[in-house]
Amino acid sequence: MTKITNHLPTKELQRLDAAHHMHPFTEDAALAKKGARIITRGKGVWLTDSEGQEIIDGMAGLWCVNIGYGRKDLAEVAARQMEELCYYNTFFQTSHVPAIALAAKIAELAPDDLNHVFYAGSGSEANDTNIRLVRRYWEVKGQPEKNILIARKNGYHGSTMGGGSLGGMAGIWAQGGLPIPNITHIGEPNWWAQGGDMTPEEFGLLRARELEAKIEELGADRVAAFIGEPIQGAGGVIVPPATYWPEIQRICDKYGILLIADEVITGFGRTGNWFGSETFGIKPHIMTIAKGLSSGYAPIGGSIICDEVYETIAGSGEDFNHGYTYSGHPVAAAVALRNLELMQEEGIVEHVRDVAHPYLMERWQALADHPLVGEAKLVGLMGSIALTPNKDSRAPFASDAGTVGYRCRERCFANNLIMRHVGDRMIIAPPLVITPAEIDILIARATKSLDECYAGLKSDGLLKAA
Ligand code: PXG
């Protein structure tokens, strides 16, 4: 057996990684040639790699390490729970303390009558659950044909067959026969790229009314639910115009369509409230949660379900035939509970709202003065900048979409800043505990990376508009 520790030389770790570890969303053969960057430690907003480089993590891992890396408290809770009860299921008329206590805590934090939690191991699984939940709801109501879900192009809801089908990512559909039947998509509220000469407000209404048109086309008696992220995350941190969500809400209410808010990224403080639905005034019947629920310390997700949907399914006289071995896993649930308690005790949502967001907002918006940057958007601690060769026309680059974004991301990586690119948008979602001094470092590295990217584009003749 090969014993792998953090002390093997980087080259050897990279060799073993390439030989045996297939990466998600990766062209593995290309990565094998280059070698993955190996991350060995995390503390607060900082990562250390196997070469001892200190990296500021502008993405909180994958939008999840909201409370920051290296919390001893969470490690101790996990160890205690493993000793006390490492596993038990909640299928056959049993329950356990962590699942109960966490569900009660989530119900306390969630708005309105979102009082019931169905656990999953991830956001993708939770969205698969949601497909089952909304179809089951209408079945019990005597309308089994009301089973179509409407979602959005360039939305992201996971990568299982269900989650990948709800998502509107062309690259995912192109592999493996997605979307599954009875899921359909409308346009995204992406004003920067698609709004043309309209104002953002006009465009927000136009996109929301595509939902109404789709419901009219299919018949309201065929449509079970609409699902959307309050802010599209993986799609590039697309902040919808202010007109968008109120109109979506009006349409769902008018036609009797269930509304699912996918809060996997926007939940648990990311937007400066506990949930993105509060930030945008959305009143969902179901919320998808994962990621920040445990700050990524343990894999756990779930659906928060309103009284009406819960009571209908629970009172149907039959089992709801759905669940996962690890639904409400005791270790993950205990860690998530302590994570939420720490967030409350330390006032982390208030820190985002009153300290980190206002401080970052000023500096983030100033990036729009950079010659490469068009718009700069930030809600809470979820931000994006659009790279463009022409700010006034909002033109894309002549090069293939993503070429410039990738080059910028490579500069960030070299400058020890994790800032992702989605096409030619750069995105950040740092741990929510980030301090003003750390924000200064993040902005300094981002600016340096943008400068270097700009210089490189100039010398390579890539500053042309399409
Ligand atoms: N819903 C949303 C809104 C998400 O962002 C999922 C569901 C699926 O969660 P799981 O836990 O199954 O991954 C997500 C996940 C990216 C990226 O490139 C984003 C996610 C996952 C992986 C990569 O930004 N979001």
160-191 core/surface letters (b: 16 or more CB in 10 A; e: else): bebbbbbbbbeebeeeeebbeebbbbbbbbbb
Q: Which of 157, 75, 127, 94 is nearest to 322 (CA)?
A: 127
Distance between Cα 264 and ligand 1 center (Å): 7
Q: Which residues pair with 212 in a beta bridge?
A: none
pLDDT at 3: 58
Per-residue pLDDT tens for 396-454? 999 999 999 999 999 999 999 999 999 999 999 999 999 999 999 999 999 999 999 99
**Ligand 1 center to 265 CA (angstroms):** 7
Euclidean distance between CA atoms 228 and 231, whole angstroms: 8
Distance 101 CA to ligand 1 centre (A): 26
| The CATH number fitting domain 37-70+347-459, selected from 3.75.10.10, 3.40.1160.10, 2.60.120.200, 3.90.1150.10 | 3.90.1150.10
Please tell me whether residue 417 adopts helix, strand or coil conformation. strand
Contact 225, 257 (CB under 8 A): yes
- CA of 462 from ligand 1 middle (Å) equals 31
**CA 262 to ligand 1: nearest atom:** 3
Pick from 401, 408, 400: which is nearest to 371 by CA?
408
Amino acid residing at 131: I
Q: Taking a C-beta distance cutoff of 8 angstroms, is the pair 144, 138 a contact?
A: yes
64 CA from centroid of ligand 1 (Å): 9
- As a whole number of angstroms, the distance between CA 31 and CA 23 comes to 9
pLDDT under 50: residue ranges of the chain: 1
The per-residue pLDDT for 396 is 95
pLDDT for 429: 98
Protein residues with CB under 6 Å of any ligand 1 atom: 62, 122-124, 127, 156-158, 163, 229, 233-234, 262, 264-265, 288, 290, 301
pLDDT in the model for residue 153: 98
Nearest-angstrom CA–CA distance, 209 and 247: 7
Gap from CA of 181 to ligand 1 centroid (Å): 22
* pLDDT at residue 201 in the model: 98
- Taking phi over 0 as left and psi of -120 to 50 as alpha, with beta for the rest, 455 belongs to alpha
Substitution candidate for ligand 1 out of 25, 26, 57, 62 with most atoms within 8 A of CB = 62
Nearest CA to ligand 1 atom 1: 157
pLDDT of residue 7: 72
Tell me which of 160, 238, 291, 303 to substitute to probe ligand 1's pocket, judged by most ligand atoms within 8 Å of the beta carbon.
291
Residue 58's H or E segment, with its range, is none
Closest by alpha carbon to 67, among 251, 334, 339?
Answer: 339
Instruction: Supply 119's token pair.
Output: 């656990």
Residue 2: the pLDDT is 56
At residue 136, the 3 state secondary structure works out as helix
CA distances to 151, 181, 189, 253 from 154, rounded to whole Å, are: 9, 18, 10, 24
Question: Given the CA of residue 234, which atom of ligand 1 is nearest to it?
Answer: 24
Task: Outline which parts of the chain fall under CATH 3.90.1150.10.
Answer: 37-70+347-459
Residue 6, pLDDT score: 57
Chain-centroid distance of CA 421 in Å reads: 14
Considering the segment(s) 73-345 as one domain, its CATH architecture is 3-Layer(aba) Sandwich (3.40)
Cis peptide before 189 (omega within 30 of 0): no
Q: Which atom of ligand 1 is nearest to the CA of 155?
A: 3
Strand pairing report for 148-152 and 223-228: parallel
- Largest Cα separation within the chain, whole Å, is 70
Spatial neighbors of 291 by CB under 8 A, at least 6 apart, are: 62, 63, 64, 66, 123, 264, 265, 267, 268, 301
Residue type present at position 460:
D
pLDDT for res 176: 87
Q: Where in the chain is the domain with CATH 3.40.640.10?
A: 73-345
Residue 354 burial (CB count, 10 A): 12
* Residue whose CA lies nearest to ligand 1 atom number 7: 157
